[in-house]
Amino acid sequence: GQNIDQPTEMTATEGAIVQINCTYQTSGFNGLFWYQQHAGEAPTFLSYNVLDGLEEKGRFSSFLSRSKGYSYLLLKELQMKDSASYLCAVSFDRGSTLGRLYFGRGTQLTVWP
Amino acid sequence: ETGVTQSPTHLIKTRGQQVTLRCSSQSGHNTVSWYQQALGQGPQFIFQYYREEENGRGNFPPRFSGLQFPNYSSELNVNALELDDSALYLCASSLDRRDRLNTEAFFGQGTRLTVV
CA distance B102 to chain A (A): 6
Question: Would you state the pLDDT for residue A99?
Answer: 64
Q: How does pLDDT run across A2-56, given as a tens digit for each residue? A: 689 999 999 999 999 999 999 998 777 888 999 999 988 889 999 999 899 999 9
Out of A1, A48, A100, name the one closest to residue B104 (CB).
A48
Q: Do A3 and A24 contact (CB within 8 A), yes or no? A: yes
Q: How far apart are CA A33 and CA A48, in angstroms?
A: 5
Q: Do B26 and B106 contact (CB within 8 A), yes or no? A: yes
User: pLDDT class for B99, splitting at 50, 70, 90?
Assistant: low
Out of A31, A100, A103, name the one closest to residue B101 (CB).
A31
User: pLDDT class for B2, splitting at 50, 70, 90?
Assistant: confident
Instruction: Tell me if B2 and A44 make a contact (CB, 8 A cut-off).
Output: yes
The overall longest dimension of chain B from CA atoms, in Å, is 45
Give the count of alpha carbons within 13 A of B99, CB side only: 0
Question: Would you state the pLDDT for residue A95?
Answer: 52
Question: Would you state the pLDDT for residue A53?
Answer: 96
Residue of A nearest to B95 (CA): A99
Question: Among residues of chain B, what percentage have pLDDT more than 70?
Answer: 92
Q: How does pLDDT run across B61-81, given as a tens digit for each residue? A: 999 999 999 988 999 999 999
**Over 60: is that where the pLDDT of A94 sits?**
no
Instruction: Tell me if B55 and A89 make a contact (CB, 8 A cut-off).
Output: no
Out of A1, A98, A104, name the one closest to residue B96 (CB).
A98
**Over 80: is that where the pLDDT of A93 sits?**
no
Q: Do B108 and B2 contact (CB within 8 A), yes or no? A: yes
> How confident is the model over B25-44, as a mean pLDDT?
89
Cβ-Cβ contacts under 8 Å, A90 against chain B: none
Helix (H, G, I), strand (E, B) or coil at B3: coil
Q: Do A45 and A57 contact (CB within 8 A), yes or no? A: no
Q: How does pLDDT run across A54-89, given as a tens digit for each residue? A: 999 899 999 999 999 999 999 999 999 999 999 999
Beta bridge partners, B11, equal: B113
Instruction: Tell me if B45 and A101 make a contact (CB, 8 A cut-off).
Output: yes
Cβ-Cβ contacts under 8 Å, B90 against chain A: 42-43
| Polymer length of chain A | 113
**Over 80: is that where the pLDDT of A92 sits?**
no
On whether any CB of chain B is under 8 Å from the CB of A31, the answer is yes
Instruction: Tell me if A43 and B90 make a contact (CB, 8 A cut-off).
Output: yes
